[in-house]
Amino acid sequence: MIFTDILGGFETLLNDQYAIWFVLLASFVGIVFGALPGLTAAAAIAMMLPILIAYNDEIGGLAGLAFLYVIGKSGRYGGSIAAILFNTPGTAASAATMQDGYPMTQSGRAGKALKTATISSAFGDYFGEIVLIFGAVFIATFTRKFGPPENFAIYLMAFIIIGSVVSDSIIKGIISTLFGASIALIGEDTITGQFKMTMGIDELESGMALVPLLIGVFVISEVIIQAEKSAKVKMIDMNARGIDDPTAQYFTWAEFKRCLPLMFRSSIIGSLIGMMPGLGSSVACFVAYGEEKRKAKNKDKWGTGVVEGIAAPESANNAVSGPSMIPLLTLGIPGSTIAAVLIGMFLVNGLQVGPQIFATEPPLFMGGQLISPREFIFGMFAAGLVGIACYALIGYFLAPVIGRVISKLPTQYLYPFIFMISIAASYSSRASIWDVGFALLFGVIGYGMRRTNFSAAAFIIAFVLTASMEEAFRQSMIISDNGLMLFLSFEYQNKFSYAPIFLIIGTAVVVFRAISSQRAKSKAGS
Amino acid sequence: MLHENYKTKVEYGVSATVILVGLFFIYQASTIGSSKEMFGPDAMPFALSISTVFGGVWLAYRAFRGKVGAVQAGYGFLESDLKRISWVIGSGAAFILTFYLFGYFLAIILGYTLMLLSFGVRDKVKILVSTLLMAFVFQWLFMGIMRLNDPSGALLDLRPYTNIISGE
């Protein structure tokens, strides 16, 4: 059944006249954005989202969704180019790659480092995509039975988990979540139609839009930081002379065979971390790097430029990509910022994220074809599988060239250009000048959050989740005879309730995180 | 020790900000009309804003106990360049004001010029050429191709001219 669905997904993708081209374009755009120091896939998505939404009817829903989905993957990979060539991680997910990637570049083996990163990223990404496809379909059959109390408990659990794991400080992570949730409550009440917390501003009656927030916290805050640094990307000579190694620019078959078990183990780590809402690639890359270094026979050489030191974090951080979609597709909870943004794209196409997305009815009319939600979602999976191959091919052959071009880009023109694109994108989301003002405001807030260790990711995820959470809460209260006790009861409307289990899991994660954080502090102190 | 003191001070500032934000949302929640339900439209806003205030108090308590930890790279505002931050925000604010008074086309020109200046570009010819190019491309792309609303400026309506670029 599932293999038929996968083949059907490829058919859906290839029958869409735009989707395949958007996949190819996204592979390239993601690599470039990921490789630009400071800019991430989330920033690229924030700038592209209003344009894709505006053209959604013309290009068909699958093309836009595939574009954003693939940018998330190729952007993660692109970060490794900056880490290896510029000693600056393009994204937080590539921070561990720097430790062995840059020493390899310094010793004239940049080609080998880049090719190792490309192959291990693609390996990890394919692994994660397979976990996503099989895992999501399996879990969705179970979660489809959940009612409002379970949904509210899941949202609350996600809030607690994301808030507690996403930042260095549990309390700051949770405050970031509360802040995002409070902003999301501005606007019209979904049940009574009352206007809430609009501060007397008419433009806020329809709520705060996602795009200005995304642009503010991810793009404008980064532009401010770049303006402060006035930094230029510096790349050392990739073709250093005097290297007596004919394989200096290649990832050899022998090295691949040596790294294969390590890539496999790291992909498992990445996939498991990816399934946890809030824990992203940046955690996975360090866990995999640390674990493989601990196991390695040549651990004293790690950090001086060994291919294993690139293969482990790159497999792990890309293996996060697919499984981070599992909470979204099975529970409606975005596990990452990119997944949070994808909700918007699903909604534009009339699809409510959650387990019902794997249903075969009702059919949707997209890109000139009548397809079921299940076919649509498998079309997205197919786009992911094709996108991985595309970015791997582009990266394998063009990564050094992309790196060279980026190192020559005049940053004093580039970042102002990105700023203006962001401003234009903020305006274009609702054609409102207020949204430009909100983007600027959240740019400053995002800058402050970065400087004081608050989490922008938790803020955005909470913003996206809160409307559904409030709805589930209010619906639960309507059916409850016991008020809030409904969430602690194992039964409602004569059926078993999983709500207390989710609340226990959430509490357990916070307690575990608090204890491990306390232990780490004590260790550092001693 | 000096750095730890600095972090403690910043954390006090952060906790005060969080408490103020929480109080602001409590006030906003109190403006929501009541309903017959036990948990009406104001339930969630109150729960979240009160939790935010508690979060702020917790941060202050942590700072008071000196448990803020070591200063990590990129933390705090010691490396912040207020002048540059003001330039970037000022460019955005100038864009908004110019958009309102003179329309989109001139707003792009002024906004980009100020951004280039804030990034240290001083070559007048390069500023002029790149800014005009940017304004033409943006006008064509966003107002022409994407067909966004291009309102008249409150003081000046340039649309008879800019519509030529947009192709309207």
Reading chain B (168 residues) residue by residue, the pLDDT tens digits are 556 688 889 999 999 999 999 999 999 999 887 777 777 888 899 999 999 999 999 999 999 988 777 777 778 888 788 888 899 999 999 999 999 999 999 999 999 999 999 888 889 999 999 999 999 998 988 888 777 888 888 998 888 888 888 877
Q: Are A348 and A332 in contact (CB under 8 A)?
A: no
Cβ-based contacts of A420 with chain B (< 8 Å):
108, 111-112, 115, 134, 138
Task: Give per-residue pLDDT as tens, A309-349.
Answer: 999 999 999 999 899 888 888 888 887 778 888 888 888 88
Q: Which range, of A19-23, A100-104, A283-287, B72-76, averages the lowest pLDDT?
A: B72-76
H/E element, A496:
strand A495-496
Determine contact: A232 vs chain B, CB below 8 A: no
The pair of structure tokens assigned to A63 is 């093309």
Q: Are A461 and A161 in contact (CB under 8 A)?
A: no
Distance from CA of B29 to the nearest CA of A (A): 6
> Mean pLDDT, chain A, as a whole number?
85
Distance CA B118, CA A226 (A): 11
The ipTM assigned to this model is 0.93
Distance CA A75, CA A82 (A): 11
How far, CA to CA in Å, does B145 sit from each of A51, A141, A428, B112, B167? 10, 43, 12, 21, 9
Q: How confident is the model at residue A366 (pLDDT cuts 50, 70, 90)?
A: low
Q: Are A66 and A10 in contact (CB under 8 A)?
A: no
Q: Chains A, B: CB contacts under 8 A, how many? A: 171
Residue type, A477: M
Q: Is B99 left (phi over 0), alpha (psi -120 to 50) or beta?
A: alpha
Distance CA A444, CA A438 (A): 10
pLDDT for the residue numbered A230:
65
pLDDT for the residue numbered A482:
74
Contact yes or no for B21 and A179 at CB 8 A: yes
Determine contact: A144 vs chain B, CB below 8 A: no
Distance CA A283, CA A279 (A): 6
What residues make up the domain containing A134? 2-525
Q: Percent of chain A having pLDDT more than 70?
A: 94
Phi, psi of A191 (to 5 degrees): -95, -50
- DSSP for A350-375? T---SGGGG---S-EEETTEEE-HHH
- Does position A115 have pLDDT exceeding 90, yes or no? yes
- Does position A240 have pLDDT exceeding 60, yes or no? no
Q: Residue A394 contacts by C-beta under 8 Å, 6 or more apart in sequence?
A: A27, A28, A31, A74
Nearest to B45 among A185, A427, A436 (CB): A185
pLDDT for the residue numbered B163:
86
- Mapped onto helix, strand or coil, the DSSP state of residue A111 is helix
Cβ-based contacts of A220 with chain B (< 8 Å):
88, 92
- Mapped onto helix, strand or coil, the DSSP state of residue A187 is strand
Distance CA A122, CA A161 (A): 29
How far, CA to CA in Å, does A373 sit from each of A359, A450, B2? 6, 38, 58
For chain A, how many structural domains are there in total? 1
Q: Is B66 left (phi over 0), alpha (psi -120 to 50) or beta?
A: left
H/E element, A38:
none
The pair of structure tokens assigned to A314 is 């790159």
Task: Give per-residue pLDDT as tens, A379-426.
Answer: 999 999 999 999 999 999 998 888 888 888 888 888 899 899 888 888
Determine contact: A437 vs chain B, CB below 8 A: yes
Phi, psi of A193 (to 5 degrees): 80, 5
Closest chain B residue by Cα to residue A441: B89
3-state secondary structure A199-251: CCCHHHCCCCCHHHHHHHHHHHHHHHHHHHHCCCCCCCCCCCCCCCCCCCCCC
pLDDT for the residue numbered A368:
64
Distance from CA of A57 to the nearest CA of B (A): 13
Contact yes or no for A199 and B28 at CB 8 A: yes
Contact yes or no for B48 and A181 at CB 8 A: yes
pLDDT for the residue numbered A525:
64
Q: What interhelical angle do A281-295 and A308-319 show, nearest 10?
A: 140
Phi, psi of A322 (to 5 degrees): -65, -60
Distance CA A131, CA B117 (A): 49
Closest chain A residue by Cα to residue B138: A424
- DSSP for chain B? -HHHHHHHHHHHHHHHHHHHHHHHHHHHHHTSPP-SSSS-TTHHHHHHHHHHHHHHHHHHHHHHTT---PPPTT-SSTT--HHHHHHHHHHHHHHHHHHHHH-HHHHHHHHHHHHHHHTT---HHHHHHHHHHHHHHHIIIIIIIS----PPPSS---HHHHHHHHT-
Kindly report the CA angle at A224 between A220 and A228, in degrees rounded to 5? Answer: 165
pLDDT for the residue numbered A90:
62
Average pLDDT over residues A39-47: 81
Strand partners, A369: A366
Q: Residue B164 contacts by C-beta under 8 Å, 6 or more apart in sequence?
A: none
pLDDT for the residue numbered B90:
93
* Closest to A429 measured CA to CA, from A63, A138, A53, A26: A53
Distance CA A173, CA A335 (A): 15
Cβ-based contacts of B89 with chain A (< 8 Å):
224, 440, 443-444
Distance CA A309, CA A97 (A): 7
Distance CA B91, CA A436 (A): 12
Q: In a 10 Å sphere around its CB, with 0-12 CB exposed, 13-18 middle and 19+ buried, how is residue A117 labelled?
A: buried
- Does position A358 have pLDDT exceeding 90, yes or no? no
Task: Give per-residue pLDDT as tens, A205-231.
Answer: 888 988 889 889 888 998 898 888 765
Task: Give per-residue pLDDT as tens, A85-110.
Answer: 887 766 667 778 888 888 888 888 88
H/E element, A305:
none
Determine contact: A4 vs chain B, CB below 8 A: no
Q: How confident is the model at residue A47 (pLDDT cuts 50, 70, 90)?
A: confident
Task: Give per-residue pLDDT as tens, A427-484.
Answer: 887 888 999 999 999 999 999 998 998 988 889 888 988 888 888 888 888 888 778 8
Q: In a 10 Å sphere around its CB, with 0-12 CB exposed, 13-18 middle and 19+ buried, how is residue A10 labelled?
A: middle
Cβ-based contacts of B93 with chain A (< 8 Å):
440
The pair of structure tokens assigned to B147 is 């067909």
Distance CA A366, CA A288 (A): 40
- Does position A235 have pLDDT exceeding 80, yes or no? no
The pair of structure tokens assigned to A321 is 């990509």
What burial letters (b/e) apply to A91-109, b meaning 16+ CB within 10 Å? bbbbbbbbbbbbbbbebbb
* Closest to A501 measured CA to CA, from A143, A198, A162, A194: A143
pLDDT for the residue numbered B3:
67
pLDDT for the residue numbered A279:
67
3-state secondary structure A389-411: HHHHHHHHHHHHHHHHHHHHCCH
Q: How confident is the model at residue A363 (pLDDT cuts 50, 70, 90)?
A: confident
pLDDT for the residue numbered B46:
93
